[in-house]
Amino acid sequence: MAFSRAAKLTLAALLLAFPLLSDSFTAYQLGLYLLYGMVAQGIALCWGRAGFLPLGQALFFGIGAYLSGAALKADLGWALLIPAFAVACLVPALLAGLVGALVFNRQTGSGPYFSLITLALSMLGFQLANSLSGITGGFNGMTAIPGLPGIDTYETLYFVIVGVLVVSTLVLAHVMRAPFGQLLIAIRENEERLQFFGFRTSMLKAAAFGISGGIAGLAGALYAPHQGIVTPQAVGFVLSAELLIWTAVGGRFGLIGPVAGAVLIGFMAAGLRDSFRYWEVAVALVFILVVLKMPGGISGLFSAALSRFGGGSSTRHEAPTPQLLASKDQRAAPDLRFDTVGVSMGPVRILNGLSFSISRTGIHCIIGPNGAGKTSALNVLTGRLPLGAGEISWRGVSLGNTRPFIAARNGIGRKFQVPSIFPELSVRQNIEIALWANRIGTTEMFSMRPYGWTTQMLGELKIRFPFLMQSDKMAGSLSVGQRQMLDFSMTVLAEPDLVLLDEPCAGLSADETRQMIEAIAAIAGETKATFIIIEHDMQVVERLSDHVLVMHQGALLANGTMTEIRANADVARVYSGGSK
């Protein structure tokens, strides 16, 4: 959620002045809710920003709490306590990052698989905390944890918590504003498209989860001296579920909302607990109401601009050259080979011994009747369909059973039949992501500089497709034709060496089709990339193709120039409804 700078400073000032405006016990309570709010901010990074739901976040909070509790009980003094706190933050961060990497690498989607594993881990953590009584104190918990040296738990610890919250909020705000945060939204919006730009999305999600685990560990590290006791409940499912509720109610799309949710429900529960027997029912009802009626939570009510953030560097500079898995010489020589490729889905044979090779740049059109296997050929080339038999190689590299991000890193770019963009991001943000493809490094993902990247081709595309200059327009509000053009522009802006376009003129008006044909011809001429275009419209094929491949029933029927194809009797028979 977009709060103004003045509103944020006022909030920080109010938090600091709170003990003066209230009594020290209420400030002490608020300190606890702020710690929970920190954990909820991490959940918002994963859930609201990247779209995957961690169900067991208390695990990382509890680990941080136990580690810091043990360090405090060992009476280490500040010199050793600070590294111990760093460990209490790093261990949960690494554990979360590792879990994320393992789970997301196996299962690309962000669905229930990941959520259920995090839930199971939290339950496992609860069992371990109960049974490892020699370390954790078991069911009774780790007790008699002293406060931070020289800091009074009821008077001054509150200010430490506010300071840590402000710093962690600033760090998270930077992470969200930086390209990394924009890529997380892109994952939420269209993860597969991002992979076709060469991003290993499983690692981006694992990194986000790692950051959220570290923040939870840090909050846990302060929870131990704040409470003086850490019980298995601190790692358990009940707290994990409460953290989710606070995040949802406060607002999962920003950083202030989750803290507000934790504080509001925390005080509400504290007030109702003694006077109203069914207070948990009240909290559950609020949660249901928010989920059904206010997806942006309470903070979402104050601003509709949930996804407007960051970016927009005013100084433009040339984007670096894409870093592909190929040498300069290899990049200059296209060499695509399909050798008796077979793909089946159950009893359905989709590709049936497809063989062809392309070793010249230029525009190669694939034509064929519906269901011939044209899209499937591109799918198996880019790792979207599993290779059943045969061999596929690109510049000598075997691409059998590849993954989309690896195909992209090998210089293969793809535009889908149905335009595939990031609808909740603006036109500018969509273009930025395409410009980052194969160019942005890990450290650059956390700097603002890549927002200023531009290329000569972008300038040309803006002249050809003027709507690209409406940079703040949401991509989801573009017409079908404009989406096709945006998708095409994004594909070529990544500067792949092999450009795969699946029916780029589908859904375009006659005028738009002309614009698209001219753009493809111009870009193909300038970039020296190899274009493979699937097309049904013979006028488009006639205008663009240097070479035509005809597919029928999952195999190659013919190939040659358009004139040769027109004269081919087999092709004529297939197109007139017969079979070869």
Cβ-based nearer residue to ligand ATP, 254 or 368: 368
Spatial neighbors of 340 by CB under 8 A, at least 6 apart, are 353, 354, 355, 389, 390, 391
How far from chain centre, in Å, is Cα 353? Answer: 36
Min dist CB 536 to ligand ATP, Å, is 6
CA 389 vs. chain centroid, Å, equals 33
Query: Interface with ligand ATP includes 371 (CB under 6 A)?
Result: yes
- Binding flag, residue 375, ligand ATP (CB under 6 A): yes
Tell me: does residue 190 bind ligand ATP (CB under 6 A): no
Token pair of 167, please? Answer: 């710093």
Among 236, 297, 334, 373, binds ligand ATP (CB under 6 A): 373
The minimum distance between CB 344 and ligand ATP, in angstroms, equals 9
**Residue 414 makes contact with ligand ATP by CB under 6 A:** no
Q: Which of 161, 350, 461, 550 binds ligand ATP (CB under 6 A)?
A: 350
Q: Is 419 in the site for ligand ATP (CB under 6 A)?
A: no
Instruction: By CB under 6 A, tell whether 558 contacts ligand ATP.
Output: no
Under rule CB under 6 A, residue 367 binds ligand ATP: no
Please tell me the distance from the alpha carbon of residue 30 to that of residue 8, in angstroms, as a whole number.
18
- Closest to ligand ATP by CB, 375 vs 559, is 375
- Binders of ligand ATP among 330-349, rule CB under 6 A? 345, 348
CB 265 within 8 A of CB 286: yes
- Does 386 interact with ligand ATP (rule: CB under 6 A)? no
One-letter amino acid at 326 equals: A
Kindly state the smallest distance separating residue 368's Cβ from ligand ATP, in Å. Answer: 5
Stretch that binds ligand ATP, among 255-263, 315-323, 328-336, 368-376 (CB under 6 A): 368-376
> Closest separation between CB of residue 346 and ligand ATP, Å?
7
CB of 519 to ligand ATP, least distance (A): 22
- Taking CA atoms, 77 is separated from 74, 87, 150, 471, 490, in Å, by 9, 15, 10, 54, 55
- CB of 551: closest distance to ligand ATP in angstroms? 6
**Pair of tokens at residue 171:** 């760090």
115 near ligand ATP (CB under 6 A): no
Task: List, as one string, the DSSP characters of 371-392.
Answer: TSSHHHHHHHHTTSS---EEEE
* Smaller CB separation from ligand ATP, 407 or 445: 407
Strand, coil or helix: 345: strand
Which string of DSSP letters, residue by residue, matches 305-341?
-TT--S---SS-EEPPPP--SS-HHHHHS--EEEEEE
Distance CA 19, CA 25 (A): 9
354 vs 440 by CB, closer to ligand ATP? 354
Residue 434 binds ligand ATP (CB under 6 A) = no
579 contacts ligand ATP (rule: CB under 6 A): no
Radius of gyration of the chain (CA): 28
Instruction: Name the one range near ligand ATP by CB under 6 A: 184-192, 196-204, 273-281, 365-373.
Output: 365-373
Residue 485, C-beta contacts closer than 8 angstroms, at least 6 positions apart: 465, 467, 468, 512, 515, 516, 519
20 binds ligand ATP (CB under 6 A): no
Mask for 448-487, x = binds ligand ATP (CB under 6 A)? ----------------------------------------
Rounded to the nearest whole angstrom, what is the least distance from the CB of residue 41 to ligand ATP in the complex? 39
CA–CA separation, 207 and 42 (whole Å): 12
CB of 494 to ligand ATP, least distance (A): 23
Q: Which of 470, 467, 431 is nearest to 451 (CA)?
A: 431
Q: Is 48 one of the binding residues for ligand ATP (CB under 6 A)?
A: no
Using CB under 6 A as the binding criterion, the count of chain residues that bind ligand ATP stands at 11
What is the spatial order of strands in the sheet that 362-367 belongs to? 412-415, 498-502, 530-534, 362-367, 547-552, 555-560
Of 136, 144, 172, 138, residue with least CA distance to 42: 172
Pick from 188, 193, 337, 374: which binds ligand ATP (CB under 6 A)? 374
**Contacting ligand ATP (CB under 6 A), which of 122, 376, 430, 482?**
376
CB of 442 to ligand ATP, least distance (A): 34
For ligand ATP, the binding residue among 100, 181, 368, 419 (CB under 6 A) is: 368
Sort strands 389-394 and 397-398 into parallel, antiparallel or unpaired. Answer: antiparallel
Secondary structure letter of residue 501 according to DSSP: E
| Sites of contact with ligand ATP (CB under 6 A) | 345, 348, 350, 368, 370-376
